[in-house]
Structure 1
């Protein structure tokens, strides 16, 4: 699979995605707001699905907490749906739309279950 399609392959949030209105994984106080702030303020950033980071095919964490990606990570579908609800797709998302590797309506079916 090409790397762009790989990064945007998830179209539905995980059962405990932090962007879900109900059933979201508990995060430390302010963490979700920080993620959202980064995504909105830096449209060159991304938020990778925790299940693709913390998996057998995920990358490695060093002793200082830095992550080295494996190339098998994908953008969090909840984050993508949230950004589309806000009309704020990232540069990467817009590039994927332009190349046909993703579509702006890929996350329409989950809009109502992600946070506002």
Structure 2
């Protein structure tokens, strides 16, 4: 049995965020006012990409993990802010915003851990 990864909470938050962002982007494409959701779709896709990248960097214990997760937190915050604009009308946007906020929090906590470990 494998030991739990030191960044397990962040890994799981990033993976959940990838799923939420992909589901949100896909759902947005089928909304009647899709043209009003283009920024949401774009940020969903960018957020899913950076979260996926962060997972890879954490899993391989890259020395750049902290930098990638710092950027990930920023993009997650931007995506959450955009999704929150539509959360009252679209459940998928509300769920995505929640996942993005959790991921941003976990990424920031992980960055703090790596900063301490590398000092």
Q: TM above 0.5, one fold? A: no
Relative contact order higher in (CA < 8 Å, ≥ 6 apart): 1
Q: TM-score, normalised by structure 2?
A: 0.29
| Higher helix fraction (1 or 2) | 2
